[in-house]
Structures are given as C-alpha cells and as structure tokens.
Chains A and B, each alone.
Chain A
Amino acid sequence: MATTEQLQARYAPSEVHQIPMDRQLHCVRFSPCGKYLIGGDFDAKLRRFAVDGEEPFTELPPVAGHHGGWLQPIEFTSEGGVMLTADSWGRISAWSYDEETPQLKWTKEAAHDGWVRMLSISPDGKHVASCGIDKTVRLWSTADGELKQEFSGHQHDVLSVRFHPRGEFLVSGDLYGVIKKWDAAGGECVGEFDASTLFLYDRLQDIGGVWAMAFDKEGKTLAAAGTKPDHGGTVQGVPTTLLFEFESGKLQHTLTMGAVKDCYVHDVLLHDDGFVVAVTSGTPGTGQLLLHKPGDEQPFFVSTKTANCHSLSLHPDGKRLAVVSTNKGSNGNGRRLNKDGEYEGNNSPIHIFQLPAAEQPAAG
C-alpha cells in the first residue's frame, strides 16, 4: 500500500464545481458509464445531471410522480444500463437510464413494508438485494423484479446491505449493529459481525446502527459505518467506521472520523488504493469529507467546507468525487421566512471534487 504521503499527493481532493439544488438530496451516484450523475431527493424525485455536456453537470428533466416519500437508494448494474431506485414507502423500481428520459422496466410497489434503506446489485448484475425497516432482506431479479430470495433473521430494522465482490455472499447490517453474512444463493446466514458499538438505546430511542457498508475490491475487508452514539434526542455521537476482515469476521481497525458533534458517517467507500473515503453529518453546519488510511490515527485528508454531507460517489474515471451537502444555516427554531415572506426548505448543493493525480480506476 502507498504511504500516507503518497496517498495525500495522489488523492487529496479539491473542489472544482458546485451544483446548486432547490431541494434536499439523500444520495447521488455516478452511472457506470460515467455520463450521468443521478440523485434522489426529499420530494421523491429522481434528479439527473449530464456529467460532461457543454456545461458540466447540466441538469436534465427530473423524474417525478413515480416514487413516494423519500427517494433514497440508487444503484446501477455494471453492464446493461439498468438503474434501480427505491423509496421510503416500500417501492423498488428498475429503469433503463441511458436515454433522454429514463424508461421504467418494472416496479414493485410493496417490495418492503415501508422504508427501503439500501440496495445492492450482484457483481453479475442479475440480482438486486434490498433491505428495510420491515427487518427483511430480499433478493430480486434485475431483469423482471421477480422475488428470488428472502433472508430472515434480523430482529431489527435492516439499514444496509452489500454484495460481496465475488457475488456468493451478501452482508446486511441492522439497527442494533448486527451484521449478518448470508449465502446469497441458499439464503442461509453463515456468519455474523459484531458492530454493536454503533448502537445505543437511550431512554425510548434506538440510536445508530450500521448506516453504510462497503467492500474493498477483492472482498477481503468489509467497512461498516455509522456513529458511536453518545445520546439521543438531538442525536450526537462519534462518526465511526469499523473495518472487518471478511473471512474471519475479526475487527481490524476502528476509524474515528470526527468529534461527538460530527455524529454519523452517512456514506463510505473503500478505494482501490486501500483507503477509506467517507462523509459525515452532525450538528447543523458540521460535516466532513474524509480520506483515511487504515492504521493511521488521523485521516490524511479532511474537508470541513461542506456542511452536513449525506452521500458520496466516485466517478468511474476515479478522478472525480461527488459529495452531497446541505446549505449553510439549515437549522433554526420557529418562524423564519425569506425576504419574500415565504417559508423555505433547505437544499443540498452537490460538490464536485477533483482527485489530483489518480492513476488508476477506482471502485465506484
């Protein structure tokens, strides 16, 4: 693995563009072809941007009226041009996205009972795994939406799911910090990882859980991210990423990614060069983009200019990074109207970072 100094020189990102938004976004993902950046917003609209048009990141017409609640997970098959989306009302949909207007291929209105928290697509692109607050993990055919498998055993809301890069295993992480390792084909639970440090029961409130997961490209390391909760109500906690050796389930590293006010790691990925990329969001106004080499006590890069970051995506060229943040001054008690006397919502500017000398393609 490269030294910390080498990683700093190669990857320390700088912001090169900002996409203003009129709404708050949950997530963005670059398409595998690299032509599109797709986001899901709090109005359940699919927001789309052409990455390399005459003007970079030109917004395309949104897809509205299909999803309900919050449109949260967005994933792509690596080949075949299929995009999977899901919402907080339980719907999962598949689209062909590489067209002027995305075409709906299939949809399952009640794929879960309520909030679908995450999707993950098998390496061969044939299956999409989903998880939700109905405590289940389900496996669907990406071709037609047929339910292929249900993975039962979690006792609590399932917040994250990821396919192993080789495809034979699936991992799912729940509210109480239990990560289950599943035989993807047989549906059997074949192991567990203990991420219970990411959970706290305080008064009446369940806090934390496994908010995000990622594998390295070889599938040897599993990253599980969230917060080490301090207290509920206005949740505070230390943003934390746990790195497990996948084969043994042994916890190898605990990466502390901020202070108590910084709270949650909202999104995480393991870069092909062995470091962790994460974004955090905590007390309004706080938020970080961090690049952290496992084993180092401190991240080798931290940006605090982006407040309340909720999602990140690495472009397939490995040189651009999209980060969803939140406008400044997003909080405040009581009546607060704009100069026109209107009650405004917040919004989520998307920051585009350039990685200065990325020399090789990276995991997306």
Chain B
Amino acid sequence: MSQSRLCKPWEHSLSRRQLLGTAAGAAAGALGLGALGGLVQPAVAEEMKKKEKQVLFIWIDGGMSQLESWDPKPGTQFGGPFRAIPTSVPGIHVSELLPKSAKQMHHLAVVRSLCTQDNSHSAGVGRIQRGDPKNRGVTYPYFGSAVANLMGPCSSKLPPYVWIKPGSGGFIHQDAGFLGPKYGALAFGDGKPPENLLRHESVSAADDAARQRLRQAANDRYAKLRRPTANEANSYVYEMAQTLMRRADLFDSSQYDPRDVERYGTHELGRHMLQGLKMLEAGVRFVKVNSYGWDTHGDNFNGHLSLMTRFDQAFAAVVEDLADRGMLDNVLVIAMSEFGRTPRINGHVGRDHWPEAWSIAMAGAGLKKGLVEGATNDQGTFVATDEYDIGHVFHTWFRCLDIDAFDVEYDNGGQPLPIAHDDMKPITNVLA
C-alpha cells in the first residue's frame, strides 16, 4: 500500500485525542499534581543544577533597537531622546529604558559588535535562528531544535523544546529542518496547555485504559503503513503529551506567587517569562519565550518606551531569579532579535532594519559575567572592533552547552553536517 499523503499529526494543534492517555491520566489524577504549584521538587532541581545545561531563549521578534537598549549613544545625531544609565558593573552603561536590567548587569554578557547578513524579516528570522551556516542544500534546524537533537530531554523527560508564545500554539515541526519533525517546538499559545490536558472526570481510569489499548493497537497498525519518521513524530508527540499531563501545574498560573506575577509583569511577556522560569525549573531543556511587535519603522521611540519597559521588567526578573536559585550556572540565557534597527531615524520617527551593528544580551552557563564585548563607533553606525556574525554566536552557545562544534556533527541520513558555520569560531572573550 502506498504511503498516505494525508496531513500529519504534528501539522495540527495538539488534539484531545493525542493528549488523553491512561497511565498519564491516572497518574495525574492520583497524584493531584494540578494543585502542587509551579516549583519543581527541590531534590530534582538540585540534581538539574548539578549537571544539566538548559537554555532560555528570549526572541524579540521584529528587531529591538540596540540604541534604545544595550548600546546607547546619547547626545549623538542618531542617539535618540533617551539617556544612558550606569549599571551594576562600573563603566558599563545601558539605555535608561533598562533600569532593572542595569541592576543585573553583573550577571550579563553583552556583545555590541554583531554584524549579520540579512536585513529582511522573512529571511532574517530563519537565518539567525538557524545560525546561518554555509548552504549545503538542506534546511538547518533552529537553535531550539538543534539543542533538542544534540542534548535530548533533561532527566525530567519533559519535552526538550518548548515555546511559550503569543497567539496560538501547536507543534511547530518546521523549526527542526532536516533533523525531522520530532525535534520541532511544542508551542503553548499564550502559555496555555493543549486543550483538555487532563482526563475528564466522567471518564473512569479503567475506561480510559481500555481506550488507550485500543488507541495503541490502532497506532501500531497505522505505523506499519507510514514512513518511520512520520510514526516516530506521532509517537513522540503522544509521549510528550503524556509527560505534560503529569505536570499540569506548569500551566496553572493561579498557583504562582502574586509577588512574582507583579514582579515579572502582568503583561504578555511577563506572564510568559515567569512560566518559562517554571518550565526550566521543571526540567525543560530549551525554553523559548518570545514577543511580537518590535518592528518599529514608525514611532520607534514611543514604541520602545513601552516595549522596553516591559521587556526590562520580565528580563531582569528572570535573570535575577535564575541567579538566586543557583540555576544561572547551568542555564544559558539569550535575548535577541533577527537584527537591530537603523541609526538613521526616518520621517515616521522610526528606525528601519539594521544588521550591520547590533547587540545581543546573554547570561549564564559558560559565560563570563558583567562584561561587554565589542563596540560600535561613536555614532553607533558600524562595528568598530571585530565583527561577529551569528555563526560565531552559535559556536559560542554550543561551547556554553559543552558541545564542541568542531567535533560534533549532525548525521543527516549518512551525510555529516557541521552544527555551526565551519568558518567561524566561538567568541572566546565572553566564555568563562
């Protein structure tokens, strides 16, 4: 029989059918995990702190202005209206729109000398998140999928690549590129769990078990008629759903400490960042939190006044909390966009796309603390020191995760492929 051309399970939002599982449902019901609150068991957290590297990837979609954030040039032609303020590290200044993050500067490593290759969103988002390797005729994975593939889940067995995003959720298999759909992102739209995560109270555990046996039988029969990758991804999604059912607490924001909610911000990014922290605490390998709406071609300065304020609140809170919990030694924190914004201010008082000279903020695993690497010129127009492309940054991230990008390769069905741009190397100045 020919292989089906019907749509695949991972092309849809997670459905109720995929998420109902006997063992998981029974476990969740029996353990009553929904009422435990968001914190992971202390012993588990301690174990993770000891040996498991994780990533918090904060994606600012559209392009954060480097001049209104990490590389201010006050009092210059392109500097904009805002002042620079001192940080917790003497001699390092950031925009006044980052007052809370300035107090966390001693945890941060900021690179001000990024010079990347693409000034369009359509290509830039992918190129940056894939590390822009040399073209070898394949679609490279996003960083989250790469980590999911290279490192797998943490010992928690929770999904390795979780994306907390505005809007709708689902399984974003496209992120995985040639690695195959199972390494895609499990996306929680507005931080919400898949619908009907828990077994409905009207369904008894015994009935549910019977259903699952039937489902398993059907699944086995289905698998025999499909490509192995299709079935593998299908099973993978199901297993993730089962695991998640045991951690329904991760989605119950009513259990969060109100002081944390206030500190992170009740806005979208604040809520999602706090949930991202809970995911990390629970043992998710790679958590991506993102914000949309940063493409400020018009009214850039009023725009950044409110956007940065909310970013600052959530970012500073999560860095502070990871540090306080001792997790920053093992969690790599990255905050970035697909490019920066033009020094030139257009007639709509906006800034356009600028990959020529922009900044990235990082913290945590494997990085030095409290430093700025690289510099732009006095006007902030171009990089004045060595330029770093995203390939350098990918090498740096992999090194932070104890992966040597010069030794480790992907195996694309027998084709060895480098995991980062093979002509680039880590930014050693930021590595601890």
* A interface residues with partner B (beta carbon < 8 Å): 23-24, 42-44, 68-70, 72, 88-89, 114-115, 133, 157, 202-207, 232-236, 263-264, 281-285, 287, 307-308, 310, 325-327, 330-336, 343-346
Q: Which of A44, A206, A281 contacts B347 (CB 8 A)?
A: A281
Are the C-beta atoms of A343 and B83 separated by less than 8 Å? no
Are the C-beta atoms of B348 and A283 separated by less than 8 Å? yes
Q: With A204-B310, A326-B347 as given contacts, are A88 and B82 in contact (CB-CB < 8 Å)?
A: yes
What separation, in Å, do the CA atoms of A287 and B347 have in the docked complex? 9
Are the C-beta atoms of B347 and A345 separated by less than 8 Å? no
Q: Which of A203, A326, A334 contacts B291 (CB 8 A)?
A: A203
Q: Is B353 engaged at the interface, CB distance under 8 Å to the other chain?
A: yes
Q: Is B75 engaged at the interface, CB distance under 8 Å to the other chain?
A: yes
* Shortest Cβ distance from residue B405 to the other chain A in the assembled complex, whole angstroms: 28
Number of interface residues of B (CB under 8 A): 51
List the A residue with the shortest CB-CB distance to B308. Answer: A204
Are the C-beta atoms of A42 and B345 separated by less than 8 Å? yes
Residues of chain A with a CB closer than 8 A to B83's CB: 68-69, 89, 114
Q: With A68-B74, A233-B295, A345-B78 as given contacts, are A204 and B311 in contact (CB-CB < 8 Å)?
A: yes
- 22 A–B contact pairs at CB < 8 A? A43-B76, A157-B305, A202-B293, A204-B291, A204-B306, A204-B311, A205-B293, A205-B307, A207-B302, A207-B303, A233-B292, A233-B303, A234-B298, A235-B298, A282-B298, A284-B350, A285-B347, A330-B347, A331-B297, A331-B350, A331-B352, A334-B354
Are the C-beta atoms of B306 and A236 separated by less than 8 Å? no
Extra contacts besides A235-B302, A333-B342, A345-B77 (11): CB < 8 Å:
A24-B345, A88-B82, A115-B82, A202-B293, A203-B292, A204-B291, A233-B62, A233-B293, A281-B348, A332-B346, A344-B344
Are the C-beta atoms of A307 and B347 separated by less than 8 Å? yes
Q: Is B57 engaged at the interface, CB distance under 8 Å to the other chain?
A: no
Are the C-beta atoms of A205 and B303 separated by less than 8 Å? yes
Are the C-beta atoms of B348 and A203 separated by less than 8 Å? no
Main secondary structure of the interface of B (DSSP, over half): loop
Q: Which of A233, A283, A310 contacts B296 (CB 8 A)?
A: A233
What separation, in Å, do the CA atoms of A24 and B300 have in the docked complex? 15
Q: Is B80 engaged at the interface, CB distance under 8 Å to the other chain?
A: yes
Which of A23, A205, A330 counts the most chain B CB atoms within 10 A? A205
Interface residues of B in 328-349 (CB under 8 A from A): 342-349
What separation, in Å, do the CA atoms of A204 and B77 have in the docked complex? 28
Interface residues of B in 73-99 (CB under 8 A from A): 74-83, 96
List the B residue with the shortest CB-CB distance to A22. Answer: B77
* B interface residues with partner A (beta carbon < 8 Å): 62, 74-83, 96, 119-120, 166, 267-269, 291-299, 302-303, 305-307, 310-311, 342-350, 352-356, 379, 381-382
Are the C-beta atoms of A44 and B348 separated by less than 8 Å? no
Q: Which of B166, B347, B353 contacts A346 (CB 8 A)?
A: B347
* Shortest Cβ distance from residue A134 to the other chain B in the assembled complex, whole angstroms: 12
Are the C-beta atoms of A203 and B79 separated by less than 8 Å? no
Q: Which of A206, A232, A307, A346 contacts B345 (CB 8 A)?
A: A346
Which of B81, B268, B348 counts the most chain A CB atoms within 10 A? B348
Residues of chain B with a CB closer than 8 A to A283's CB: 298, 348
* Shortest Cβ distance from residue B376 to the other chain A in the assembled complex, whole angstroms: 12
Residues of chain A with a CB closer than 8 A to B343's CB: 343, 345
Q: Which of A42, A114, A232, A284 contacts B346 (CB 8 A)?
A: A284
* Shortest Cβ distance from residue A24 to the other chain B in the assembled complex, whole angstroms: 6
Residues of chain A with a CB closer than 8 A to B76's CB: 43
Which 9 pairs show the lowest CB-CB distances between chains A and B?
Answer: A308-B347, A88-B81, A326-B347, A334-B119, A333-B353, A331-B346, A203-B293, A234-B297, A330-B347
List the B residue with the shortest CB-CB distance to A332. Answer: B352
Are the C-beta atoms of B306 and A205 separated by less than 8 Å? yes
